[in-house]
């Protein structure tokens, strides 16, 4: 006979209403109800009966479902072994063993080496902050292929749309297939899908761009007609504005493939984010680091953002411990600037917010025509608070709109859709 102590099975058992048959009863080896009790199947069904839900199951609900299956398996093992002395275990004991288990936290990411490095970094930070997540199986990395990963033979501007490297990951998050999404913040559109929040930014890496060339030590040393490979319109316009004698061609792929093409002399030089090279332990490949005065970085360059579902309080608590507030404030400013300009993949835009020596905020922004002939810049200062940072970004965006004129942005929008 198996002593089935049902009241220990469910974390909310103490709050369940009394029932005439709630007293622990005895279950026969055939699983049927003995006098004065409930069968194991009835008890399991009453506690874990599936319910129709409009939202993805929470991690606690996923755990309960996994536990139900394992408890049933444990009971079957006991029934097969009940003739062996001291070999039996009770369902109550099996339940107690499983009661402290945690659901696997699934981390969604792209599959490029850099994206995986950022996902592993997030995983390691979670393990360090929460010892229970250091246990085997507590964290799982889920690779998701995005539109930007699938289409490599066209410039990003020609593919069109927003969220080329994020949409499929965000869909998986909202569908409950993953619990958190790890993004390079410069890939994240200024709007977020309904039901998703982005409460966490990891500490920002170096924001500067790296120049890589086997024959010259700087852009200025390249001869007229030299070809630079870059998929970034932002980099293209800043290069052509200062060095109109150079040529810039579309140059897509992950860091490793771009460096391989450079070695194969497909192009004479290329530019990559210094942060990415550092995260891949490939900083030794660079030729020079470009000062932000010479090459203003992309909005949110060097920052990692971690998203979760709205209302998922358990995950939000995990991410709160990883958030770097100074990074988050800077990113809020830059994204407010980008959102005000309504920038698209065909609009070369750069922006950088930093804490200055006085503890305040300094912002610099840039927008340009794709040929690099017309470049508009702005600088603003404010206090280092989220509210003021957003206000500075919005004001800077509005002023640049006035400088460039409505016709400039009308052209950009017409060439996106």
- The residues annotated as belonging to the active site are 187
Strand 269-273 and strand 361-368: the pairing is unpaired
Q: What are the contacts of 93-99 at 24+ separation with CB within 8 A?
A: 94/70, 95/8, 95/9, 95/67, 95/71, 96/8, 98/67, 98/70, 98/71, 99/8, 99/11, 99/67
**CB count, 10 Å around CB of 252?**
18
Q: What is the chain's length?
A: 417
Handedness of CA 369, 390, 210, 181 (dihedral sign): negative
d(CA 81, CA 328): 58
**Going along 52-190, which residue ranges are E strands?**
105-109, 139-143, 180-184
H or E element at residue 248: strand 247-249
Report the 3 state secondary structure along 8-51. HCCCCHHHCCCCCCCCCCEECCCCCECCCCCCHHHHHHHHHCCC
Structure token digits, residue 11: 């974390």
Residue 179 · residue 109 · CB < 8 Å: no
């Amino acid at each position: 006979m198996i002593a089935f102590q049902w009241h220990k099975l469910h974390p909310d058992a103490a709050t369940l209403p009394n029932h005439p048959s709630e007293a622990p009863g005895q279950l026969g080896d055939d699983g049927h109800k003995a006098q004065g009790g409930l069968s194991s199947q009835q008890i399991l069904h009453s506690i874990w009966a599936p319910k129709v839900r409009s939202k993805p199951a929470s991690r606690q609900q996923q755990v309960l479902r996994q536990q139900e299956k394992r408890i049933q398996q444990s009971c079957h093992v006991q029934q097969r072994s009940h003739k062996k002395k001291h070999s039996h275990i009770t369902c109550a004991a099996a339940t107690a063993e499983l009661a402290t288990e945690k659901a696997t936290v699934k981390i969604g990411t792209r599959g490029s080496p850099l994206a995986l490095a950022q996902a592993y970094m997030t995983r390691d930070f979670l393990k360090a902050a929460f010892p229970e997540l250091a246990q085997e199986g507590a964290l799982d990395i889920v690779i998701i292929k995005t539109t930007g990963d699938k289409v490599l033979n066209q410039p990003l501007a020609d593919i069109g749309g927003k969220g080329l490297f994020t949409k499929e990951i965000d869909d998986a998050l909202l569908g409950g297939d993953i619990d958190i999404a790890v993004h390079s913040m410069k890939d994240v559109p200024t709007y977020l899908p309904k039901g998703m929040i982005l409460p966490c930014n990891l500490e920002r890496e170096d924001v500067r761009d790296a120049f890589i060339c086997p024959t010259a030590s700087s852009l200025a040393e390249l001869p007229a007609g030299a070809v630079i490979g870059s998929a970034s319109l932002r980099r293209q316009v800043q290069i052509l504005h200062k060095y109109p004698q150079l040529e810039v061609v579309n140059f897509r792929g992950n860091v490793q493939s771009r460096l391989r093409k450079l070695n194969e002399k497909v192009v004479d030089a290329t530019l990559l984010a210094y942060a990415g090279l550092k995260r891949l332990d490939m900083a030794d490949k660079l030729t020079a680091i470009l000062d932000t005065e010479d090459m203003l970085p992309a909005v949110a360059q060097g920052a990692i953002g971690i998203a979760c579902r709205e209302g998922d309080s358990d995950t939000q608590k995990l991410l709160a411990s990883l958030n770097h507030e100074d990074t988050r404030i800077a990113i809020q400013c830059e994204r407010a600037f980008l959102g005000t300009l309504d920038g698209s993949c065909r609009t070369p835009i750069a922006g950088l917010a930093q804490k200055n020596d006085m503890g305040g905020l300094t912002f610099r922004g840039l927008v340009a025509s794709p040929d690099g002939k017309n470049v508009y810049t702005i600088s603003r200062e404010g206090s280092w608070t989220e509210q003021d940072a957003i206000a500075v970004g919005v004001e800077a965006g509005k002023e640049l709109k006035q400088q460039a004129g409505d016709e400039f942005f009308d052209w950009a929008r017409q060439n996106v859709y």
